[in-house]
Amino acid sequence: MNHPSSDYAAATTAPVTLAGCTFTDLKFSNADQPHRIFLFRPDKPAPPEGWPVLYLTDGNACFATAVDALKVQASYPSGTNVTEGVIVAIGYPTEDPYDPLRRSWDLSPPPGRIYPPFYPNTPDVRTGGAERFLALIENELKPWIEGQTRIDRSRQSLFGHSFGGLFMLYALFKKPDAFNRWISASPAIYWEDASILEMEREFLEKNSVPFDAELHLSAGQYEGEILAPFHKGTAEEQKRQEHTKETRTIELAHDMALRLTELTSSSSTIAFEEYAGENHMSVLPVALNRAVQIAFRRPD
């Protein structure tokens, strides 16, 4: 009689794969290096109008979480109000969740600056590439995706977190017709002297006619004046408190939502949501779940 331990020892292991998911490393003409494009699409023919689609920045960190959230909820649409669709995540050829150097360039608005390297013997950190990144998405990535599967252009959403949330705001202010639903989680509005606020002012001046879109801004409870309980009484407490006074993530996102509410059509929705018990990084899965619910909400 074999002991259970011997049976376990004989078992083989295999890599885990996500059904319906693929990735491709693509070198776009508007980029110096390849991007890794993660793609999920339902295993069935697209509806006549095409699939709704959710585009994600920081694809390596976000893709699997978003796919799982969609699969679970779309399997029970009458209970979740979530329907099936396509997820496109824009990342980098790495096994890590982030490529700090490249995302600093891609996701930050121009004009940008040059900062010291993240690590010794590595390149300087450059910011300001958001204009090129948005052009890449609009002129190269979207046509490529539409070559893979049928897309409903009236139901396209963009999600970003932190720097990605900042990029989402940049894209909204520069090309408001690029997407129909915009989801910005913990946006780094403060970044580089809060220059995104000037872009917002220019946007409001140019768009005297209400724009027809949906915008969801959010942040975690511990991204404002309230410090996470596990940081209280630590050596980092004062430093973290000072950092939150600089970033003011909750305050800046909330105030932006209030201003933009004044520039909406009757069919538009502007909202701010604060996630209880979450910090800047732990908020990501919660925000991705909300992005799925917004992007794939069943039509009325």
Active site residues: 162, 223, 280
**Helical (H) or strand (E) element with 87:** strand 86-91
Q: Which amino acid is at 145?
A: I
Q: Which amino acid is at 121?
A: N
Provide the Cα torsion 22, 28, 32, 34; round to 10°: 10
Provide the Cα torsion 188, 114, 106, 220; round to 10°: -20
- Bridge pairing between strands 114-115 and 21-26: unpaired
Nearest partner of 288 among 165, 116, 151, judged by Cα: 165
Count of C-beta atoms within a 10 Å radius of residue 269: 13
With a CB cutoff of 8 Å and minimum separation 6, the contacts of 6 are: none
206 in helix, strand or coil? helix
Count of C-beta atoms within a 10 Å radius of residue 271: 13
